[in-house]
Amino acid sequence: MDELKIYPTKGRIHYILTDATGESVIIEYLNGKPIAYKKEANTCQAITNNAVSYSEIYKNQVKGWKKNNSVSIYRYYQLEQKIAGLQNTTELNKEAAFDMLKKVTIPKGDFKTMWSIVYDINQKSISFFTDTHQEIKTIDVSQFDFGSNLTYFNLNQNELLKLNEELTALTEQVNFSFLSPSLIHLGFDEKVTKDISLHQFQQSENQSSVFADDYFHMEIYIPLEEEKQTGFLAVMDSEQNFNDRKAVTGGYLYSTIGKGTFVWHIYGLKTGKYAMLAFIDDSKNRELDFDKMARPSKNTPRLAIAYLQIKMKSLF
């Protein structure tokens, strides 16, 4: 971890690592540095879209909430409750794990759960199903030859439930065909999509990168007067979009709120000119409350607006 510097392309990055004993560690990259959370053998640990440190702080605030699996903190709370309810290690099996995952599935919408995966450390197997093909498929990892070339299989099918003998050679061209629809949908152009796909096959610390050269990430800190205030920040890529209050969709943005501080993280925006609109949601309706003249409405008299014109350079 000390030798590698890992940047997110469209969001946060975190990993769960485990060994044959079941001992595990979550590794997250926060502010460009790796943070580790360790759990002893035969002990589950959960992670959702937010950082563990953030989820741990706010998980107890969801008690009494209406069920809402689209909220990351709520899903983290649900998983933690399920884990706490396990009485002994014999309950840590594949069926129980899939049941836990189904409880926190997002069934529909733009951010629905696309697949669920269970890694069985004792059996050395990986089982999964997808949102469109819900028969459980299994791979026996103990039968893998990790010295051979990369291989792949089709996730979205129900015919082959044991997949070891159905693996096909994975080339960079095939990888790009799978990768590009998602990355282009997220706002990357074809040039940087090809660059990312190629990097997966030719990893090198010193390799030049279109993403590193032409895209940037940054963090913005805004002090809050009260601990429980909610802040928002929108980024626009033209004067017209700023006037129309139309935020960019090409980068990935998310916020964290510490005591008295609102932090907005921006990942994967292409280098260029942007306008930013920051505000405090005093009305607590999670809306930009403006009148027809694009002025703060009377419902939010303490709305705070900041307008910036910046030309970003790569921060890698």
Q: Does the structure show a pLDDT above 60 at 174?
A: yes
Which range has highest mean pLDDT (128-137, 239-248, 294-303)? 128-137
Task: Specify the pLDDT at position 31.
Answer: 65
Rounded mean pLDDT of 138-155?
Answer: 83
> All domains of the chain, ordered by start, with CATH?
14-113 (no CATH), 173-207 (no CATH), 214-311 (2.60.40)
Q: What is the pLDDT of residue 129?
A: 92
Q: Are 188 and 249 in contact (CB under 8 A)?
A: no
**Does residue 64 have a pLDDT over 50?**
yes
Residue 270 pLDDT: 80
pLDDT for res 44: 75
Please give the residue that has the higher pLDDT: either 245 or 118: 118
208 compared with 50, residue with greater pLDDT: 50
Cβ atoms within 10 A of the Cβ of 107, count? 10
pTM of the predicted model over 0.75: no
What is the average pLDDT value for the chain, to the nearest integer? 77
Q: How confident is the model at residue 315 (pLDDT cuts 50, 70, 90)?
A: very low
Percent of the chain with pLDDT over 90: 4
Query: Which residue did the predictor score with more confidence, 85 or 130?
Result: 130
- More confident: 256 or 279: 279
Give residue 313's pLDDT band: very low, low, confident or very high (50, 70, 90): very low
User: Using an 8 Å Cβ cutoff, are 67 and 74 in contact?
Assistant: yes
| CB-based contacts of 47, cutoff 8 Å, min separation 6 | 14, 16, 26, 55, 76
* 219, 31 Cβ separation under 8 angstroms: yes
Q: Report percent pLDDT > 70 for the chain.
A: 77
Q: Is a pLDDT exceeding 50 seen at residue 310?
A: no
Residue 189: which pLDDT band, with cuts at 50, 70 and 90?
confident
Q: With contact defined as beta carbons under 8 Å apart, do 220 and 209 qualify?
A: no
CA angle (296 as vertex; 294, 299 as ends), nearest 5: 135
> Both tokens of residue 261?
């501080």
Out of 62-71, 142-151, 168-177, pick the least confident: 62-71
Per residue in 208-225, pLDDT (tens digit) is 777 778 877 777 777 777
Sequence-separated contacts (24+) of 35-38 with Cβ below 8 Å: 36/1
Q: What is the pLDDT of residue 243?
A: 82
